Amino acid sequence: MTAPILVTGGTGTLGRKVVRGLLDAGREVRVLSRSDQAPYDGVEVVVGDLATGDGVDKAVHGVETVVHCAGSATGDDEKARHLIAAAVPAGVRHVVNISVVGANTLPVVSGLDRKMFGYFAGKRGAELIIERSGIPWTNLRATQFHELTFTVAEQLAKLPVVPAPSGFRIQSVDAAAVAERLVELALARRRARSRTSPDRGRTRSRR
């Protein structure tokens, strides 16, 4: 018997793919979700809310590895805080966290910065909370998923004229490839303290 792996955000675009990958690897999976839904494919769903901390202690109980995929436009630092507050006393041994390229480089100083790039500040805050938790951690930084790029393009296409800001570059990534890497990291036998190099998109490990 091995401990279940907790996937927060296991109902989302990325998390669903992570859950599938872990199941395919023969691992027992638990999902934390805000909504009460029937378990699928043998997955146990624990109801909880990372924004308030409700139910999170139950979700991490008996878990050694957490793949933290839950996220939204705001407050991801607070979500990480609640996750870690429950994970430390539960004896979790590895937190694999999905973050975003630019989290550590975009300066978010003014009120306007926060309005425009508060998401990145939240992701950086989450990274630091996890790094300072005392639990071995992995922060993987990904660029935007193709799905998001497509949604934005779809919205823009509704306008009579589509703005094309100069100097705007985007290099989106397949969420399936990100999920595959998260599964690999979660199943790695030796726990690593690692971070992804944003320029090369590879994981470096520090032991």
Ligand X SMILES: NC(=O)c1ccc[n+]([C@@H]2O[C@H](COP(=O)([O-])OP(=O)(O)OC[C@H]3O[C@@H](n4cnc5c(N)ncnc54)[C@H](OP(=O)(O)O)[C@@H]3O)[C@@H](O)[C@H]2O)c1
Q: What kind and span of H or E run contains 31?
A: strand 29-33
Q: Is 21 in the site for ligand X (CB under 6 A)?
A: no
Question: Does residue 14 interact with ligand X by CB under 6 A?
Answer: yes
3-state class (DSSP) for residue 194: strand
142 counts as binding ligand X under rule CB under 6 A: yes
d(CA 186, CA 140): 11
The answer to whether the beta carbons of residues 195 and 203 sit under 8 Å apart is yes
Q: Of 46-54, 109-117, 184-192, 196-204, which part binds ligand X (CB under 6 A)? A: 46-54
Identify the H or E element spanning 165: none
Q: The tokens of 118 are what?
A: 């508060």
Among 2, 24, 35, 167, the residue binding ligand X under the rule CB under 6 A is 35
Is residue 148 a contact point for ligand X (CB under 6 A)? yes
Q: Is 117 in the site for ligand X (CB under 6 A)?
A: no
Q: What is the sign, positive or negative, of the torsion defined by CA atoms of 91, 62, 175, 167? A: negative
Name which position in 33, 65, 133, 196 contacts ligand X (CB under 6 A).
33
Q: Please identify, using beta-carbon distances, which residue of 45 and 135 lies nearer to ligand X.
A: 45
Instruction: State the residues that interact with ligand X by CB under 6 A.
Output: 8-9, 11-15, 32-35, 49-51, 69-72, 79, 98, 100, 142, 144-145, 148
